[in-house]
Amino acid sequence: MNLTPVGVWGTGMYVPERVLTNADLEKMVETNDEWIVTRTGIQERRLASPEEASSDLAFRAAEEALRNAGITAEQLDLIIVATITPDMAFPSTACILQDKLGAKRAAAFDLSAACSGFIYGLANATNSIATGMYKHVLVVGAECLSKITDYTDRNTCILFGDGAGAVVLGPVPEGRGFRSFELGADGSGGPLLRSSGGGSRHPVSQEVLDSGSQYIYMAGNEVFKFAVKIMGSAAEEALRKAELDKHDIDLLVPHQANLRIIRSSLERLELSEDKCMVNLNKYGNMSAASIPVALAEANREGRLKEGDTVLLVGFGGGLTWGASVLVW
C-alpha cells in the first residue's frame, strides 16, 4: 500500500490574558521566585478566566491554525483534541469545538494521554491521512490545568498553566512531513501523577471534595527521574526509526515541564540551546498544550524553515511518552 506523506499545513496557539507570576505565588504559598526559577525555570504562567473552558482556548488556537493553513473549517475531515481537562465528561471537547468552528463534515473525538497527548494525536491523524481515509485533520492540545490545581500545594501550583495549541495536518510532497513516531506507556507508574477524584472509581462526593483528590497529585522526584530517562530514549528511538541521528536535528521542541529536564535532553542529544524551543518561562507546564504552543510560537518567530528536521518529544501522566521526527 502506498502511503501519502503527511505534514503540518498550519499552526496556531492561544494563551489566556491573566498572568500568574512567581511574585503572585509568593503571596499564596510558602515559596519564592528564586526557588521556583532554580528548580523549574518557570517565571510566570497563564490562567483561564472563570468563564473560559478548554474548548474556548482550543477554538482560538484552531482559528489561527486554519488561517495559517489556508483552509476553512468546512474542509476538515477530523478533529482530535488532546486534553486531561475536558469541558465536561461528555460530550467531548472535540465535539464542542467542532460546533464552535462550524466544521460540519468533521468527525471528532478527545484523546487522553496527559502531556504526551498531542503527539499521540499527531500519530492518529497522520495514519488517517496517510492511508487515504481523510485529507485534512485538526489536532489540538488544550488544557485548563488551573481548574484542577490545588493552590495551597506549593509542590504543584508553581508548575501548571493554561493554553491551547493546534495544527492542521494534510498531504505534503515526498520527502516532507512526519518520518516516525515513538509512543509508549507504563501504567504501573500511573499513581505517580494523577487526578483521581471525580471519575467512576471515586465519583464526585463531599468526601472526595474534602480530600482534594480532584486536584493534580504528583510524586515530583519520581516523575523527574522518569522524565530525564524517557525523554532521551524516546527521542533516540524516533530518530532511529526515521533513519536519522542526533546531528540531523535542526530544532528540538520538547514538552515544557522543567528546564532541568530539557537541558538533560539537550546534553544527551548533543544539541546547543539555540536548537531548542523553550517557552516554559512564560507559560509553565500546559500538559497536552505545551508542545503545540511551542511549535506554533517557533513558527511565528520564523524558526522553522522548509526542509528543517524537527524533533518533538514529551512525557506525561499514565505514565506515557511520545516522540516524532518531522521534516518541515
Q: Cite the active site residues.
A: 115, 255, 285
List the one residue out of 150, 147, 164 whose CA is nearest residue 60: 164
Place of cell 500568574: 20
Q: How far is CA 217 from CA 134, 150, 169, 283, in A?
A: 38, 9, 34, 20
Residue 1 CA to residue 18 CA, distance in Å, equals 49
CA dihedral 9, 48, 286, 305 (to 10 degrees): 30
Question: Which grid cell sits at 271?
Answer: 544539541
Amino acid (one-letter) located at 197? G
CA dihedral 14, 18, 22, 26 (to 10 degrees): -150
Residue 295 CA to residue 316 CA, distance in Å, equals 18
